[in-house]
Structure 1
Amino acid sequence: MNTALESLLGLLDLERIEQDIFRGQSHSSVVPRVFGGQVAAQALVAAGRTVPTDTDLSPAPGNTPLAHSLHAYFLRPGDPGAPIVYTVDRIRDGRSFTTRRVVAVQHGQPIFHLSASFQTYEEGLEHQTPMPQAPDPETLPTAAEQLPRYADRFLDPGTLDRLLEARAAVDLRYVDAPPFASVGTPGEPRSQVWFRTRGKLADDPLLHVCLATYVSDMTLLDSVLLAHGRGGWATGDIVGASLDHAMWFHRPFRADEWLLYDQESPSSSGGRGLGQARIYTQDGQLAVTVIQEGVVRVPR
């Protein structure tokens, strides 16, 4: 496990201030605000730490509720220099489903709101959309090998270093070129990346779900940019921010094993862009569905 991953795991290990109240810290990000994936992952950690593990709540003995969905809104930019306080409301503890609501607060104002649902394991009907074609991740260049090729595209010379630092805990590999490689050339509104953490993780299912949540905010709106030949926030030709984020966790997975993030954009209009995606395990199991809308504005 590298130092960056240890640091990220430290960010997700929230301090418990009081019952159902937690405090988290932040790292610097590529943009001068808290990275949205970090806030979402920390909020899910806070929610998960209040979910009962008492087997009396489960229809099957020893069956701990696992996260199966989250729905979130980004309300205000987060200040990376200040702690974030997460307050959890225990909406419902049922026999099969447990529901939590989390509000993230900074400087006395809410910056993020999340609702999460947890479910005990059940047998049921099974089907899934097949995994799309993608090359073996080991054949693709790493971020450290690929991103420096486009250093001249970035508005700020320090952006490349910040981008590599922000992704140091995760091995994230583009199947095709990233959006800032095709500025001025509109293409298909699709993007694929493989990712996994740079080190093995503990066998805590909540940790793997939270790390996938963290990574899911890194590249989801790339497909919006590709459709219009825009390089994105790093190149200065787009102003953007996440507005809302939803995830459904279908099947067990490990964030320290290769996952394919297959992303596309069905629409952009009104200064907003929509991204939708599926995350597959390397053996073809559909693990997660993700949908996100963000501000996508062309600077005046």
Structure 2
Amino acid sequence: MGMTEQDLSPESLIQGLTTLLDVETLDTDLYRGARKPGGRGRVFGGQVIAQALMAASKSTDVDRVPHSLHAYFMRPGNEDFPVVYRVVRDYDGGSFSTRRVIAQQQGVPILNMAASFHKMEPGLSHQDTMPDMPDPDSLPSETAWRQQTLHLVPEKFHSFFLTPRPIEFRSLDPAAWLRSDKLPPQQNSWFRAVAPLGDDPQLHRAVLAYASDMQLLGTCARPHGLSWMRGELMTASLDHAVWIHDDFRADDWLLYCTDSPWAGRGRGMNRGKIFSRDGRLVASVAQEGLIRVMKGRKEG
């Protein structure tokens, strides 16, 4: 049955996202992540990270929130199957808990993740300053710019490109990655969930982990004017790390500032800072990704 307009409302999109991320308990420290409805091909890496984080959170006291995770992608996930998560309780101390998570499909690991949880406490404080950016409400909506730039997208990707998403991004030049311009290896984008998420801080952190795998890998392709959508690049996340510094709401605007200090040897390094709308640095991100030029193309 095809999706109706009601199915694509912001509230329905967020209900679908929260259902996707809220893993099912199969046994002690064993969980199952649902398949994305309508998903095809490779599972989005941010989905596996977020589900793994939710599985680890379910094995940890509620007064401890995740402050860091380090994940390695080993194999691409397959949308035809759910993902099973096994949690190992490595340590529970007075202030910190650490967990290891193995994500697998059909008995084969696709991701390993280590996560640390902290009982929040006061401490010394300093942070980087948030860069100047126009207010997100002054920028075009994601739906609007996607419709206006559809002519830049190969026809076979039109349906995917126009599909409404539970996370909206807004930036100064959102279509830059569709063109062949050679640009500095950095970009700033606002993002938020398209409808309220409720008040569970674990869910907000999982949604941030989910969204942190968006926009990031493309940063190291910006100086070269090439795109996977035009068949010029093969890209894939190799690892992913997130440090969550402070509380935030993922259904309020967050500014994602990414840069790529290096690319070479078929890999690209990407970093990110995530600021709340009031200027607090709430998370930091790092990722190395595969970035191979396809045969017949020359790197510029």
**Contact map agreement 1:179 1:229 (CA 8 A) in 2:** no
**Contact map agreement 1:87 1:103 (CA 8 A) in 2:** yes
Tell me the equivalent position of 1:162: 160
- Per-residue deviation, 1:25: 1.6
Change (3 A) 1:117 1:164: farther
Change (3 A) 1:267 1:222: same
Kindly provide the CA deviation profile for residues 106-136 of structure 1, in whole angstroms up to 9, marking residues without a partner as x: 0110001110000001111100000001110
Partner AA of 1:163 in structure 2: F
Three-state SS of the structure 2 residue aligned to 1:46 is helix
Kindly provide the CA deviation profile for residues 73-113 of structure 1, in whole angstroms up to 9, marking residues without a partner as x: 01101000101100000010111100000000101100011
Tell me the equivalent position of 1:174: 171
Partner AA of 2:158 in structure 1: L
Tell me the equivalent position of 2:137: 138
**Contact map agreement 1:87 1:104 (CA 8 A) in 2:** yes
Aligned length: 286
Change (3 A) 1:31 1:153: farther
Among 6, 10, 33, the residue aligned to 2:19? 10
Three-state SS of the structure 1 residue aligned to 2:238 is strand
Q: TM-score, normalised by structure 1?
A: 0.91
**Contact map agreement 2:153 2:178 (CA 8 A) in 1:** no
- Per-residue deviation, 1:180: 2.9
Among 25, 32, 52, the residue aligned to 2:34? 25
Distance 1:179 1:272 in 2: 21
Distance 1:287 1:295 in 2: 27
Distance 1:130 1:218 in 2: 22
Tell me the equivalent position of 2:195: 199
Among 280, 290, 294, the residue aligned to 1:295? 290
Tell me the equivalent position of 1:190: 186
- Per-residue deviation, 1:31: 7.3
> Is 1:39 the counterpart of 2:48 in the alignment?
yes
Three-state SS of the structure 2 residue aligned to 1:219 is coil
> Is 1:269 the counterpart of 2:264 in the alignment?
yes
**Contact map agreement 1:191 1:222 (CA 8 A) in 2:** no
Partner AA of 2:207 in structure 1: L
> Is 1:258 the counterpart of 2:253 in the alignment?
yes
Q: Which runs of 5+ in 1 are unaligned?
A: 54-63
Distance 1:213 1:147 in 2: 24
> Is 1:92 the counterpart of 2:91 in the alignment?
yes
Change (3 A) 1:261 1:160: farther
Following superposition of structure 1 onto structure 2, how do residues 189-228 of structure 1 map, counting pairs within 5 Å? 189-228=185-224
Kindly provide the CA deviation profile for residues 142-191 of structure 1, in whole angstroms up to 9, marking residues without a partner as x: 12111233323334x242321343x51112112223343331x2111111
> Is 1:237 the counterpart of 2:223 in the alignment?
no
Three-state SS of the structure 1 residue aligned to 2:149 is helix
**Contact map agreement 1:28 1:34 (CA 8 A) in 2:** no
Distance 1:226 1:109 in 2: 34
Distance 1:267 1:137 in 2: 29
Indicate the percent of aligned positions where both proteins have the same amino acid. Answer: 41
Distance 1:108 1:151 in 2: 40
**Contact map agreement 2:65 2:117 (CA 8 A) in 1:** yes
**Contact map agreement 1:29 1:35 (CA 8 A) in 2:** no
Tell me the equivalent position of 2:7: none
Distance 2:38 2:241 in 1: 22
Q: TM-score, normalised by structure 2?
A: 0.91
Partner AA of 1:186 in structure 2: K
Distance 2:234 2:176 in 1: 14
Tell me the equivalent position of 2:6: none
Three-state SS of the structure 2 residue aligned to 1:180 is helix
**Contact map agreement 1:148 1:160 (CA 8 A) in 2:** no
- Per-residue deviation, 1:30: 8.4
Q: Which runs of 5+ in 2 are unaligned?
A: 1-9, 296-300
Distance 2:24 2:202 in 1: 17
Distance 1:149 1:297 in 2: 29
Change (3 A) 1:276 1:29: farther
Distance 1:237 1:29 in 2: 26
> Is 1:75 the counterpart of 2:71 in the alignment?
no
Partner AA of 2:30 in structure 1: I
